[in-house]
């Protein structure tokens, strides 16, 4: 039978009457707009922001579709990736009834969002090589399992999980498979967006917060089947992306070169940093990465973390995270920042 996400939808949402506005009926740009209780005079700022933004961000999606080589109907945009993560729970997971599967150690919001939505997140640990345990994953699936969350490249371990294993899950699971590619620009492989037409149950998450350097603007992207996009559109807050975000990102997308330059610089710094870290006596292991950070195992990680905070170098202590014992996550900084980091770590090595 053909996969249809509507079959997975929470029952009460099948009858939902979504919010509508007069601008669903009138699409023109010119007119006397007396429908939305806006201020007709202008804004208190120099630039005018007095009109509500496009709820479906069509101009932005058209540009993204061109860049990603997919259809605009396969794109959902949210206020950071955290919004589609939350909306997927709200659309498909009945509280206290449905389940999802996560693969710790992984990005924390899949579990936090499950907890907020009162949905059980079943944990299937990654292997010791930080790869998917496909056998354990497939046997953890129950009739009420709605979503499997896969993060690749994975946070906090940094590595891509094996792509063949993702494919096994996509083929072996009748629910939704999310592949979170927040760090894809730092990985040397094609995105799973190239496989969307093959797998109607695939949802690829990406973000403008990492390689594009726009974390403050909050823009997360979910690439998936048009049917899944339509479901998310029905339950999202009407104006979830500000006009400022839409306009700024649209301009940014015309500057792909700058993004590529920044990524190249970060990759160069990443390589340098690896060598410097590995030379340190307190460093036990630098894990291979496909992202803009390293997971590093250190002697006395917690101590290192606290000592570096005193020096105003802030790392992410992951030493209490399962399979990350003694682990610290280090974002690749600028050359100067990395130099300061290494200087401070050297002092601790003495
Ligand atoms: C794997 C992963 N997904 C999503 C996000 C969140 O991205 P956004 O800033 O778009 O909410 C992060 C942020 O650290 C992340 O590591």
**Which atom of ligand 1 lies at the shortest distance from residue 208's CA?**
10
290 lines ligand 1 (CB under 6 A): no
Determine the Cα–Cα distance for residues 93 and 114; give it in Å rounded to an integer. 9
Determine the Cα–Cα distance for residues 93 and 145; give it in Å rounded to an integer. 9
Q: Which tokens go with 347?
A: 């002092």
CA 211 to each of CA 57, 60, 226, 288, 298: distance values in angstroms, whole numbers, following the listed order: 21, 18, 26, 19, 27
78 lines ligand 1 (CB under 6 A): no
**Which atom of ligand 1 lies at the shortest distance from residue 151's CA?**
1
Mean pLDDT for all residues in the chain: 97
Whole-number Å distance, alpha carbon 37 to ligand 1 midpoint, is 35
Whole-number Å distance, alpha carbon 120 to ligand 1 midpoint, is 21
CA 240 to each of CA 47, 84, 97, 207, 237: distance values in angstroms, whole numbers, following the listed order: 20, 11, 28, 15, 5
154 lines ligand 1 (CB under 6 A): no
Pick out the chain residues at pLDDT < 50: none
Please give the backbone phi and psi of residue 4, each rounded to the nearest 5 degrees, phi first. Answer: -135, 115
Is 253:64 a contact under the CB 8 Å cutoff? yes
152 lines ligand 1 (CB under 6 A): no
Q: Alpha helix (H) ranges present in the chain?
A: 58-68, 82-92, 109-116, 134-140, 163-172, 226-235, 243-253, 256-278, 301-310, 335-349
53 lines ligand 1 (CB under 6 A): no
Beta strands (DSSP E) in 88-160 are 99-102, 120-123, 145-151
Determine the Cα–Cα distance for residues 57 and 250; give it in Å rounded to an integer. 10
246 lines ligand 1 (CB under 6 A): no
Whole-number Å distance, alpha carbon 346 to ligand 1 midpoint, is 31
Determine the Cα–Cα distance for residues 248 and 243; give it in Å rounded to an integer. 8
155 lines ligand 1 (CB under 6 A): yes
Residues 6+ apart with CB under 8 A from 104: 111, 123, 125, 126, 321, 322, 323
Atom 2, ligand 1: which residue's CA is nearest?
A: 182
Residue 350: the pLDDT is 67
215 lines ligand 1 (CB under 6 A): yes
Whole-number Å distance, alpha carbon 315 to ligand 1 midpoint, is 17
107 lines ligand 1 (CB under 6 A): yes
CA 229 to each of CA 10, 77, 78, 146: distance values in angstroms, whole numbers, following the listed order: 15, 9, 11, 16
Q: Which tokens go with 271?
A: 């390589």
83 lines ligand 1 (CB under 6 A): no
């Amino acid at each position: 039978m053909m996969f249809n996400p509507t079959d997975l939808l929470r029952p009460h949402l099948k009858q939902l009457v979504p919010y509508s506005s007069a601008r669903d009926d009138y699409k023109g740009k010119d007119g006397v707009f007396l429908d939305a209780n806006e201020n007709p005079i202008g804004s208190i700022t120099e630039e005018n922001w007095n009109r509500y933004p496009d709820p479906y961000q069509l101009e932005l999606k058209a540009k993204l579709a061109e860049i990603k080589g997919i259809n605009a109907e396969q794109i959902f945009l949210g206020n950071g990736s955290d919004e589609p993560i939350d909306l997927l729970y709200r659309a498909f997971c009945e509280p206290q009834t449905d389940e999802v599967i996560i693969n710790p150690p992984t990005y924390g919001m899949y579990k936090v969002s499950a907890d907020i939505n009162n949905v059980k997140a079943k944990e299937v640990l990654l292997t010791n090589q930080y790869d998917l345990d496909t056998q354990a994953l497939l046997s953890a699936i129950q009739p009420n399992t709605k979503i499997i969350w896969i993060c690749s490249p994975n946070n906090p371990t940094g590595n891509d999980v094996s792509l063949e294993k993702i494919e096994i899950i996509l083929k072996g699971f009748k629910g939704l498979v999310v592949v979170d590619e927040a760090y894809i620009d730092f990985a040397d492989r094609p995105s799973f967006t190239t496989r969307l037409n093959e797998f109607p149950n695939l949802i690829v998450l990406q973000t403008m917060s990492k390689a594009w350097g726009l974390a403050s603007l909050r823009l997360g992207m979910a690439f998936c089947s048009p049917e899944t996009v339509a479901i998310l559109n029905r339950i999202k807050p009407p104006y979830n992306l500000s006009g400022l975000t839409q306009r700024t990102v649209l301009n940014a997308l015309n500057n792909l070169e700058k993004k590529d330059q920044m990524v190249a610089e970060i990759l160069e710094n990443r390589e340098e940093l690896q060598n410097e870290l590995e030379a340190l006596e307190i460093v036990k292991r630098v894990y291979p990465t496909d992202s803009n950070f390293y997971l590093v195992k250190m002697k006395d990680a917690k101590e290192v973390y606290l000592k570096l905070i005193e020096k105003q170098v802030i790392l992410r202590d992951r030493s209490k995270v399962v399979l990350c014992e003694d682990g610290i996550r280090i974002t690749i900084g600028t050359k100067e920042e990395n130099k300061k980091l290494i200087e401070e770590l050297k002092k601790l090595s003495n």
